[in-house]
Amino acid sequence: MIAVLALIAGVVAGILIEPTVPVYLQPYLPIAVVAALDAVFGGVRAKLDKVFDDKQFVVSFVSNVLVAAFIVFLGDKLGVGGQLSTGVVVVLGVRIFGNVAAIRRHLFKA
Amino acid sequence: MTTPPRDGLAPDFLSDLFRHPLDPGYADAAARRAEHGPRPPWRRRGAYGLKVLTLVAIGFLLAVAYRQAVKAEPEATRAHAGLVGEVKSAQTATDDLQNQSDQLRRQVSDAQAAALGADAAELRQLRQEEAATGLAPVTGPGAVVRLVDAPTPIDPNTGRQSDQPVNRVLDIDLQGVANALWASGAEAIAINGQRLSTLSTIRTAGSAILVDFRPVTSPYEVSAIGGPNMLGTFNHTPTAATMHSLVTRYGLSFATRSEDHLQLPAAPAPALLYARPEAPR
């Protein structure tokens, strides 16, 4: 419950504060979103599996975002930023799909 | 759920990723809790606080990313609208200059008439030469050759216009038609209202065809003033045969028709910077 409220508080803060994203951070935004979604769905699934762990959740979010951003940064420097972004999105997307499928099985037993 | 092997990556990393999408750390943490009992309360409270902070950060991130995506869209549209406006105003400016040029040309011819007298032999000769070189508007009977790009191909799957390249009329087609018309006895030619003179150019820039540096677009109408035999002669030229084969092969359309009364404008006068008329001997 607190978790959902915290998420909503973050969204409201983002809408109210209206931050401008610096240009050099803009390429990382989509990747950060996908990494954050992976962490969130992983956390929800773990909760339903009754193995949720606060520390594990925080570490998985931070490391997801950092590793994804680092890969994109490296790809930009090497001139293959687009392809590496695609790779990150594919790997995280597969995990999101798998976790959402597990959540669905938990909720609907189907 | 089975715990995946912990000694580095599984040999088949991708299928492992598909089979166990949940971070293995959760299972490890649960196993550790089962083994050693729960962590001390101060560490649990710290981790809980961090989790709440992380969730706030994630919500913030989602909102910011959404706003960014919404903001980027109108920016692209604005840039497009700005460019369209620039093109439109440049076209208006060109048209204004064209009108001004026509007006000045009329003033020059009025001044010539005033200086030489309305029916002097010199004036008549001057008018004749202006008409022949394309520097004066002319009227007369003639023919119109019409060339149109092939229709945009329709994508059979979506039913919309596909992005495949259209078979277009090329500058070389217009050049060939103009040359064949000259060869068939045309005395004055205009393409989409752009009169050709001896210094005219027909060439491609990007995907547009420029006649004397003014863009012309499909459908192209090449109007030529000439005798009654001109069209028949033109239809027997190799160029006409080539155009007919382009019609069957690429789907362009090509048609000719006679006109009793054609009116062709004047071509822009070439600015002579270095060439001077030879002194009469």
How far from B235 is each of B140, B180, B187, B230, B244, CA to CA, in Å?
A: 20, 9, 17, 9, 10
Are A10 and B67 within 8 A, CB to CB? no
- Looking at residue A79, its pLDDT comes to 84
Are A10 and B26 within 8 A, CB to CB? no
Measured between CB atoms, which of A32, A42, A51 is closest to B30?
A51
How does DSSP assign A20-62, residue by residue?
A: PPPGGGTTHHHHHHHHHHHHHHHHHHHHHTT---HHHHHHHHH
Q: Give domain B138-264's CATH architecture.
A: 2-Layer Sandwich (3.30)
pTM of the model: 0.51
- Looking at residue B175, its pLDDT comes to 93
* Cβ pair A107, A49 in contact under 8 A: no
| Residue of A26, A40, A45, A54 for testing the chain B interface, max B β-carbons within 10 Å | A54
| Residue of B14, B56, B71, B75 for testing the chain A interface, max A β-carbons within 10 Å | B56
Measured between CB atoms, which of A7, A29, A91 is closest to B59?
A7
pLDDT, greater one: A49 or B157: A49
- Looking at residue A4, its pLDDT comes to 86
Contacts of B41 (CB under 8 A, 6+ apart): none
- Looking at residue B159, its pLDDT comes to 67
Chain B residue nearest residue A52, CA to CA = B26
Q: Helix (H, G, I), strand (E, B), or coil: what is residue B52?
A: helix
- Looking at residue B89, its pLDDT comes to 94
Chain B residues in contact with A21 (beta carbon < 8 A):
64, 68
Residue identified by tokens 């400016």 is: B93
**Which helix (H) or strand (E) element contains residue B209?**
strand B208-211
Q: A76 to chain B nearest CA, in Å?
A: 20
Chain B residue nearest residue A26, CA to CA = B68
Each as own residue / partner, the long-range contacts of residues B242-247 (CB below 8 Å, 24 or more positions apart, any chain) are B242/B176, B243/B147, B243/B173, B243/B176, B243/B177, B246/B173
Region A16-39: mean pLDDT is 84
- Looking at residue B128, its pLDDT comes to 83
Residue window 53-72, chain A: list those with CB within 8 Å of chain B.
53-62
Residue identified by tokens 């992005």 is: B163
- Looking at residue B42, its pLDDT comes to 81
Would you give the DSSP letter of residue B218?
S
- Orientation angle between helical segments A54-78 and A81-108, nearest 10 degrees: 150
- Looking at residue B1, its pLDDT comes to 45
Contacts of B123 (CB under 8 A, 6+ apart): B112, B113, B116, B117
pLDDT, greater one: B159 or A32: A32
Q: A85 to chain B nearest CA, in Å?
A: 16
pLDDT tens digits for range A57-81:
888 889 888 888 888 888 888 888 7
Residue window 73-102, chain A: list those with CB within 8 Å of chain B.
91, 94-99, 102
- Looking at residue B11, its pLDDT comes to 64
Chain A residues in contact with B48 (beta carbon < 8 A):
54
Are A14 and B63 within 8 A, CB to CB? yes
Instruction: Quote the percentage of chain A above a pLDDT of 90.
Output: 0
Pairing of strands B214-216, B208-211: antiparallel
> What is the number of other CB atoms lying within 10 angstroms of the CB of residue B242?
16
> pLDDT tens string for chain B (281 positions)?
445 555 555 567 777 777 777 777 788 888 888 888 777 788 888 888 888 888 888 888 888 888 888 777 777 788 888 899 999 999 899 889 988 988 888 898 888 888 887 777 888 888 888 888 888 889 999 999 999 988 877 777 776 766 677 788 888 999 999 999 999 999 999 999 889 988 888 998 887 888 888 888 888 999 999 988 999 999 999 999 999 998 998 888 899 999 999 999 888 777 778 888 887 76
Task: Please indicate if any CB of chain A lies within 8 Å of the CB of B271.
Answer: no
Chain A residues in contact with B44 (beta carbon < 8 A):
54
Q: Where are the domains of chain B?
A: 9-88, 138-264
Task: Please indicate if any CB of chain A lies within 8 Å of the CB of B58.
Answer: yes
Give me the helices (H) in chain B, please.
Answer: 13-19, 24-36, 41-116, 121-133, 171-183, 230-235, 238-250
Measured between CB atoms, which of A6, A9, A19 is closest to B64?
A19
Distance from chain centroid for Cα B281: 51
Would you give the DSSP letter of residue B124?
H
Are B56 and A9 within 8 A, CB to CB? yes
Task: Please indicate if any CB of chain A lies within 8 Å of the CB of B25.
Answer: yes
* Cβ pair B237, B185 in contact under 8 A: no
* Cβ pair B63, A15 in contact under 8 A: yes
Residue window 13-32, chain A: list those with CB within 8 Å of chain B.
13-15, 18-19, 21, 26, 29-30, 32
Measured between CB atoms, which of B1, B27, B47 is closest to A58?
B47
Q: A94 to chain B nearest CA, in Å?
A: 7
Q: Which of B62, B194, B192, B66 is nearest to A9 (CA)?
A: B62
What value, to the nearest 5°, has the Cα angle with vertex B74 and ends B72 and B79? 100
The two tokens of residue B73 are: 């869209």
